[in-house]
Chains A and B, each alone.
Chain A
Amino acid sequence: MTVSTLRMAVRSPRRIALSQKLGRWDIRFSPYLYISPFFILFGIVGLFPLLYTGWVSLHAWDLIGGQGKFVGADNFAWILQQQKFWLALRNTFSIFLLSAVPQIVIALIIAAVLDQNLRGRTFWRMGVLLPYIVMPVAVALIFGNMYGDKYGLINTLLGHFGIPGIQWHSDPLASQFAIATMVNFRWTGYNALILLAGMQAIPRDYYEAATIDGAGAIRRFFSITIPQLRPTLIFVIITATIGGLQIFDEPKLFDQYGTGGANSQWLTLTIYLYNLGWGQLNFGRAAAVAWLLFLVIVLIGLVNLGITRRIASNEGRNS
């Protein structure tokens, strides 16, 4: 500081002031400039559609005909009165729970196994990711064959044991379970790899020390791996939550019509949105559903945030 003040006194005050100003701007604004691409992109593909959808939801809006008259909150009022909306909300949560919980548990187990010293490590790791790169449409075709009500693989197998076939396309729980298995098939391996990366970052000394102290593999897993994995686990849980609440491909492809079942057995919020917007060409109402879905996700996000904060502070105490 003192050096620069001295120099300032010698040179012409104007030029120094400018370069100094530039320097100060550089320090103050550069970080914002560097992170701005994210926010500009977010503004275009995130914020703008979000606000525009809000604008659409306040109008009578035809998919092809375009903007109609301003109706205020009528679209929202109409949707909240629809039994189908609440049914879709229930189904969304139910499919989410049926998929996310087993998905993360199984991913954790797979990651733990992959973390061991295996032969052909890369082969196993890539193998786990394989279902993720299969197109959802192909997955739906394969599972559609398995879950046929009359001639499906599973019901045929059950028939050999004298067990009556499961009504995959008419029983709500069965249909949602079937959809959840498709989701799990696709995402378990992906989550396992993220958890595996987290596990590899855990210092090996902990395990060595624990082994010397006589801790078995299971004890090591619960007392070292799980606590050390917390930040990664939280990330996986949050992304699984968001993805789970927006589930679309699998229920859409579960039957030949893709409208959520004759009795709305597997109608999710996104399918409901799609039916309104593209089936009935009513974009205003579809936009209102999109906003309600957004609010639900924000709500869940806030709950997650609360849990995260608590866990983060717990972590501080432990270490």
Chain B
Amino acid sequence: MKLSRRTTAVAAIAGAAAFALIATGCSAGGSTASDSSKPITLTLATFNNFGYSDALLAEYHTLNPNVTVVQNKAATSDAAQTNMFTKLAAGSGLGDIEAVDVDWMPKLRQYGAKFVDLAAADNKGRYAGWKTSAATTTDGKLIGLGTDIGPEAICYRSDLLAKAGLPTDPDAVTKLLTGDWDNYYKVGATFAAAKTGAAWFDSAGATFQGLANQYQNFFEKKDGTVIATTNPDVKASFTKVLAESATLSSHLTQWSPDWSAGQANGAYATMLCPAWMLGVIQGNTPKVTDWKIANAFPDGGGNWGGSYLTVPTQGKNTEAAKKFANWLTAPAQQIAAFKTAGNFPSQVAAYSNKDLTSATNAFFNNASIGQIYIDRSKAVTITPFKGVKYAAVMKVVQDGLTRVETGTQSIDQSWTQVVSDIKALA
């Protein structure tokens, strides 16, 4: 009897522990201190690699001796996103400056009151118009300063192309891949016919990202209504990518350990390559010398990803943080970041800067990455609309692509589930 009573207590406590997961805090307002001589520490929260080197941060300390900057890097943007939303809800714990990916910006735009308005005289017209509008709330508040954009090129393994008897020189490959998506798949079919043992592209998921970023209203209408299940472009892209992926893809889900290993092991010959991907590839395959960049992209151009810096109002030194964010996203600092990690600046003035136009990358066989990505960003003609549900819908569709690529479902079965999963997001 004694034991069973203890049992119920244990059961009750542990059951209640389930709720610890959901326990929430209450909101607390932040204050602003603008004393310019008082020593302060600013925390800068970023993810992946923003290219903000210690030297760059030390430079700011030299300019503003009272400010010390501490950078906290999250490993993935998913981890950073979760951390940010949780702490935004709790009302405390965020960094003074928080980096935000373009895909979760729409959600944050809804909570404009929780961010400082960053518009200032010296950052007006600094960015491409679409970059600014994506970070502007409906009442005209600018909550994020653009860091980088992701104009897309194509990265390829010259050794694998050589094996298949295709040209390997960047200029020749650029010529080969200039054209539409059908051309990209057609070259892929030639590559596959040579039976090198490698696939043409990495995954249906990554390739689909390239397609999705070429439509104005792909998943959502301008008013935010989700049209993903009825938009014929979505289903057509979904079906087409998967039909091609059967013979052309390495079927390694993007960002999985196998996908990273595949980059080093030569599992696939080409992949879509937004500017920030250069740092990812180099990190995954430090010993491979055959990665090169083709200055081409199917159907012209496209932008994939890119980030912002925001200043949450819950911080203690919002005024100093705003000043620092403004400095960090100025053209000179963003070019420095580009040289460190390949994140392509979103600042218009940077594109005519000699430091950028002449930039090359030794890892990618001295590709003139500055000029390539300037060209690629000029080829971007469409700014996809990304509303509140964009990221969630994209995840559902990506899961659908993965199901077919791993052989779990047929294309039709998977699409049916995508439709019902999108309905469940409502």
Query: What residues of chain A have their CB less than 8 Å away from a CB belonging to chain B?
Result: 42, 45-47, 49-50, 52-53, 56, 63-66, 82-84, 144-145, 148-152, 167, 169-170, 231, 234-235, 238-239, 242-243, 246, 248, 255-259, 262-263, 270, 273-274, 277-281, 283, 286-287, 290, 293-294, 297-298, 300-301, 304-305, 308-309, 312
| Contact status B18-A290, CB under 8 Å | yes
Question: CB-defined interface of B1-40 with A at 8 Å, one 1/0 digit per residue?
Answer: 1011001101111111111111110010000000000000
**Mind listing 6 A-B residue pairs with CB under 8 Å?**
A42-B13, A49-B19, A53-B19, A56-B24, A256-B78, A297-B11
Q: Check B163 for interface membership: any CB of A closer than 8 A.
A: no
Who on chain A is nearest to B254 by CB? A256
- Report which of A47, A56, A263 forms a contact with B16, defined as CB distance below 8 A: A47
Residues of B within 8 A of A45 (CB): 16, 20
Q: Check B336 for interface membership: any CB of A closer than 8 A.
A: no
Residues of A within 8 A of B21 (CB): 248, 270, 273-274, 290
**What's the Cα separation between A262 and B98 when bound, in Å?**
30
Q: What's the nearest-Cβ distance from chain B to residue A89, in Å?
A: 14
A49-B16, A170-B408, A273-B22 as given contacts; A280 in contact with B425, CB under 8 Å: yes
Query: Which of B53-61, B81-89, B117-125 contacts its partner?
Result: B81-89
Q: What's the nearest-Cβ distance from chain A to residue B238, in Å?
A: 14
Residues of B within 8 A of A283 (CB): 22, 24
| Contact status B262-A84, CB under 8 Å | no
Who on chain A is nearest to B82 by CB? A278
| Contact status B76-A256, CB under 8 Å | yes
| Contact status B10-A238, CB under 8 Å | yes
Chain B contact residues (Cβ within 8 angstroms of A): what range?
35 or more
- Report which of B7, B16, B400, B417 forms a contact with A308, defined as CB distance below 8 A: B7
9 A-B pairs with the lowest CB-CB distances in the bound complex, closest first = A301-B11, A46-B16, A262-B402, A170-B406, A242-B14, A49-B19, A262-B399, A151-B261, A256-B255
Residues of B within 8 A of A53 (CB): 19, 22-23
Residues of B within 8 A of A309 (CB): 4
| Interface secondary structure of A, over-half rule | helix
**What's the Cα separation between A152 and B4 when bound, in Å?**
45
- Report which of B12, B20, B261, B403 forms a contact with A150, defined as CB distance below 8 A: B261
Q: Check B362 for interface membership: any CB of A closer than 8 A.
A: no
Who on chain A is nearest to B15 by CB? A297
Q: What's the nearest-Cβ distance from chain A to residue B131, in Å?
A: 23
Residues of A within 8 A of B261 (CB): 148, 150-151
A49-B23, A234-B7, A263-B403 as given contacts; A281 in contact with B258, CB under 8 Å: no
**What's the Cα separation between A283 and B236 when bound, in Å?**
34
How many pairs of residues, A versus B, come closer than 8 Å at their CB atoms?
Answer: 167
Residues of A within 8 A of B114 (CB): 64
- Among A64, A273, A286, A312: residue with most chain B CB under 10 A: A64
- Among B255, B403, B408: residue with most chain A CB under 10 A: B408
- Report which of B8, B22, B107, B267 forms a contact with A286, defined as CB distance below 8 A: B22
| Contact status B17-A64, CB under 8 Å | no
| Contact status A246-B18, CB under 8 Å | yes
Q: Check B190 for interface membership: any CB of A closer than 8 A.
A: no
If A150-B262, A170-B406, A262-B408 are given as contacts, then 8 extra A-B residue pairs at C-beta distance below 8 Å, sorted by A number, are: A46-B13, A46-B19, A65-B111, A242-B10, A246-B17, A278-B82, A294-B18, A312-B4
A49-B20, A246-B18, A309-B4 as given contacts; A169 in contact with B256, CB under 8 Å: yes
- Report which of A150, A273, A304 forms a contact with B7, defined as CB distance below 8 A: A304
Who on chain A is nearest to B20 by CB? A49
Q: Check B286 for interface membership: any CB of A closer than 8 A.
A: no
Q: Check B63 for interface membership: any CB of A closer than 8 A.
A: no
| Contact status B22-A305, CB under 8 Å | no
